[in-house]
Amino acid sequence: MFLFTSTKRFYITLICLIFAAVIPIQAATGRFSYPPAETAFMIIVYAAAGLAFVLPEILYSMTPTEKLLKRYDVNKDARPQIERQARARNGELTPRKIDVKSRCATFTGKKGGSYRTTLKSCTCPDFKERKAPCKHIYYLMDQIERSSEN
């Protein structure tokens, strides 16, 4: 599951690919009574659906960090962004889990909730309101850069 930034996306992909694999097995054992053309069509549909869910994850994992951050219309040198970067560097947050390979993390919020973070988005109130990098994204980005230096 290291490739997926979303558990839901992982399970949907898994189910689609399982169906794509089970249909020909059932057809071969006689448990499936559809004509061969319909069987082939169903296999293709489930396999395509599985690929449709996994492709964005592959693209995300291959896209350079700088390119992902360019999507935000924000000046990294503006005072609020500098303050967010400083809070990330000073550890004013509680990382619960960081997966550098899939470039995602989970942080514990101040009120006990948890925030799911990727370089594209975060579930924290700051990101939801501004649609710009929050301290969680900056922290994750810093951890990714540190791991690539080693």
User: What digits encode the pLDDT tens for the residues 96-121?
Assistant: 999 888 888 999 987 778 899 999 88
Query: What value does the mean pLDDT take over residues 40-60?
Result: 87
Listed in sequence order, the residues at least 6 apart from 103 whose beta carbon sits closer than 8 Å to its beta carbon are 5, 60, 61, 65, 118, 119, 140, 144
Give the start-to-end residue ranges of the domains of the chain. Answer: 7-62, 65-149
**pLDDT value of position 56:** 82
pLDDT band at 58 (very low <50, low <70, confident <90, very high): confident
Average pLDDT of 65-88? 80
Mean pLDDT on 77-82: 82
Report yes or no on whether pTM surpasses 0.75.
no
Say how far apart CA 17 and CA 11 lie, in whole Å.
Answer: 10
